[in-house]
Amino acid sequence: MTELQQHQIPSDLRRICRRVQEKSQNYQQYNFSQHHNDFLKAFFDLAQEYDTLEDFYRVCVAVPLEMIGVSSALHICRGTEEGLALVCSSERGVLAEPEPASFLVQMHESPYEVGDSFMIPIFSKQPFEHHSPDSGPGAGQQRQTTLWNDVKGLCEEGRTLGIYEVRMFEGFSEADKFFFIKYANRIGYNLDNRLIALQNIEHLKFINTLVVDIEHNIIVPNMYFRHLYNQLKKKILELSGLKGRIEAFLEHPGDRSECRQCCQQLQELQDNLLSYHQEIVKHHTSTSLFLESLFRREHFERGHLVLRPKRCFIEKEVIAQQLEHYASRLKAARVTVEKPRNMVDEEFSVLVDIGLLAQVYANLFSNAAKYTREIIDQNGKPRKTMAYGREIIQDFPTKGHKGIKFNVFTTGPVMTETEGSHLFHEGVRGEGCEDIPGTGHGLSFIRQVVEMHGGVAGYEPTPQGNNFYFILPMPPLDYPPMLLNEGL
């Protein structure tokens, strides 16, 4: 390009044009064969053609196998703790489940050889190459050595995504090593873009789910505030009417019984207002706890709910507070509450996220207020009851360990175990509840939170109703030897 042409280039393009020139010079230095160039073209075309991550893995090993008959394998880094995992190879294709990589496959900043394999680190983003100018006939070996050193220097930067393993064949040269290093770089660029895209998709899915959680656990329950405010307004109007009666009595004193009636009404109003005040405080406390647990910065940074576990006594710090919060609604639905005999006296601390576990019980108690039905018990008496409790189970999550099973039982028509378990899926509701407000999200949320704690959530039918439960691992150090099983 002439100086005049360079001068005519818009200023915002000059930096990119310089990179185009550098790339052109680099390609001349690489001196790849036509077959190698076709190899890279095939890779780029197929990487654009196939969308899924699994198909991209297949492209990475299929191109060298088909184009030049070289076997290879792809090992992806799953984090500092889990290390590398084999995800795809020429011999086995994409593995159904990634397998821990052989001890011979180790993370390194630079390519290395082990046995008959050439191991190349895959980086997410490489800095620009700056090669020493080298031109002229007869300088091929020196040029190749310079490029090799440059590539090794490049490997010192960038986030490592994994290792690309190439099976070296007879006559595998330094030029072949260099070519596959550049190929691994292209894998890294494409893989990084795909992982970022997948991460963005997962973030969007999480945000959509979180919006449902917020609507279900905060916005809808907050409509209860409207009920409380309406009740307060009624009591304020009653105060206004009572004030008029008192003023009339003062102007025209008469029967003192009128005054006593006013005092009695004032006492009732005071009791009502104190009761509503307590309800508002409880509702505000619960809502504040839910807001804190759902709007944590870590959730949005990582794209999934993040636990903040702490030791707590579930009966006193979670169940009792949520039960008090839902007491008025259970009472309005004429649901009696049966409490366990020994849960408080023999309670022990467990490690849980209090805010999220509180929402688990809030959903269970809310469902109890809506779906509990009256039955006739074995004694021929009507029973409309919710009961909660706890029992210790053996061999959970694995043999030799203990788990704590938390139960919430309600009377009513019994479902099959399959029907009840299906309710834990998002958006699924039971039959015959079309006229009852609900979204089918509560039990799905419960399952998600319990599984995050390393537990399981489930359903089991009983002779008089339905038991929804969840099991958490027992903290070994806190297990009291005299703890009795607590059934419902």
* CA-based end-to-end distance of the chain: 86
Neighbouring CB atoms inside 10 A of 28's CB total 10
According to DSSP, residue 334 is labeled T
Low-confidence spans in the chain with pLDDT less than 50: 4, 126-157, 478-488
Contacts of 384 (CB under 8 A, 6+ apart): 334, 335, 336, 372, 373, 374, 375, 411
Q: Collapse the DSSP code of 393 into the 3-class scheme (helix H, G, I; strand E, B; otherwise coil) and give the result.
A: strand
Buried-state track 199-238, b at ≥16 Cβ within 10 A, e below 16: eeeeeeebeebbebbeebbbeebeebeeebeeebeebeee
What is the spatial distance between Cα 277 and Cα 271, in angstroms, rounded to a whole number?
A: 10
User: What is each CA distance from 61 to 64, 89, 166, 460, 476, in whole angstroms?
Assistant: 6, 6, 9, 48, 47
Residues recorded for the chain: 488
pLDDT tens track for 155-207: 334 578 999 999 998 888 888 899 999 999 999 999 988 888 888 888 888 88
**Inter-residue contact 153 to 122 (CB < 8 Å):** no
What are the structural domains of the chain? Answer: 10-201 (3.30.450.40), 307-488 (3.30.565.10)
Phi-psi region of 33 (alpha: psi -120 to 50; beta: other; left: phi over 0): beta
Query: How many CA atoms lie within 13 Å of 258's alpha carbon, on the beta-carbon side?
Result: 13
**Inter-residue contact 163 to 188 (CB < 8 Å):** no
**Inter-residue contact 59 to 43 (CB < 8 Å):** yes
According to DSSP, residue 219 is labeled I
User: What is each CA distance from 297 to 175, 301, 302, in whole angstroms?
Assistant: 49, 6, 9
User: What is each CA distance from 349 to 419, 438, 447, in whole angstroms?
Assistant: 33, 33, 21
pLDDT tens track for 205-215: 888 888 888 87
**Inter-residue contact 444 to 436 (CB < 8 Å):** no
**Inter-residue contact 386 to 330 (CB < 8 Å):** yes
pTM of the model: 0.61
